[in-house]
Amino acid sequence: MKKRILVVSSANIDFVQNVKRMPSGGETVIEKGGYSYVPGGKGANSALAFARLGADTVFCTKVGRDDNAKKLKGLYSAEGIDTRFICEDREAPTGLASIIVEEDGQNRIIVYPGANGFLNENDVEEAFTCYPDGVFVQLEIPDNAVIAAARFAREKSIPFFVDAGPARQGFPLEELRGVEILSPNETECEILTGIKPDSVQNCLKAAIRLATVTEAKYVVIKLGRRGSFIYDGKYYNIIPAHKVTVADTTAAGDVFTAALSYAYLQKGEILEATRFATLAGAICVSRPGASTSIPTLKEIKAFAKSIKEAK
């Protein structure tokens, strides 16, 4: 039986620009890499990932009353995502992310939240009427919406998962107490703890701090090419990344944490879930774009098989 996942997070239209290099202040650079407008937003990326993995996916977000919103809803419906709890704001436009992708695949992102900034506790409470088996939250929405999702999940004894991006100083981490898996990337980890996870020792210090404040069952720090660091309250493990040619890192963290949460809900085994998420993340970074880079369950299984056969 499919697990029902409620994703409470953001939806954007991404303006993606491919560049050879960033211009200096006051400099104009003529580029030939091209640009495009594609569906994005951390929540939408994760919801699409859940849907492509086979989960019964419900998306709670807020968009404007504009053409971008219509385009996004159409895409989500086509992917099999339940859009009943996508709310519309009367005045704010649908969120926009400006994404600059450099030749080595690294990206720089500027987000204009738009309607995402008005998702509220009432919207979240209504979405819980879908009776989810798990709740997935990110920080690209207002604090009160994040905290409400965590509280409702805790009150109903529903496992909830937090992708701690984009992290911001001052966020009340204690409001996430009881989170099943808390997963920041390197930058987010440093923002939330003041500790740069540039060594095993520092990863452990940061994970302990996060686990202490949130009472997280597991902390999984995403370390990019270095893999991921898992802490369960007593012990730690490191799962190495797969070596692939990086095309674009956009959405990689969203896909990783969604795949991690999906696999964990299936069997409750954190190491196995993290290995699965590592496969999904590797496929994602090898492709350009956000929604266009998200793999299906079939693709992940095929990739895992190819790695096994290559050994």
**Residue 254 known to be catalytic:** yes
For residues 161 and 182, what is the distance between their CA atoms, to the nearest angstrom? 6
Does residue 14 sit in helix, strand or coil? strand
Catalytic residue (choose from 56, 123, 248, 254): 254
Those residues whose C-beta lies under 8 Å from the C-beta of residue 225, and which sit 6 or more positions away, are 241
Distances (CA, A) of 134 to 55, 124, 158: 10, 14, 6
| 82 secondary structure, DSSP code | B
The strand order across the sheet containing 107-112 reads 35-40, 12-18, 95-101, 107-112
For residues 145 and 212, what is the distance between their CA atoms, to the nearest angstrom? 23
From the CA atom positions of the chain, what is the Rg in Å?
Answer: 18
Does residue 249 sit in helix, strand or coil? coil
Burial 180-218 (b: 16+ CB within 10 A, else e): bbbbbbbbbbbbbbebebeeeebbbebbbbbbebbebbb
Does residue 265 sit in helix, strand or coil? helix
Please give the positions annotated as active site.
254
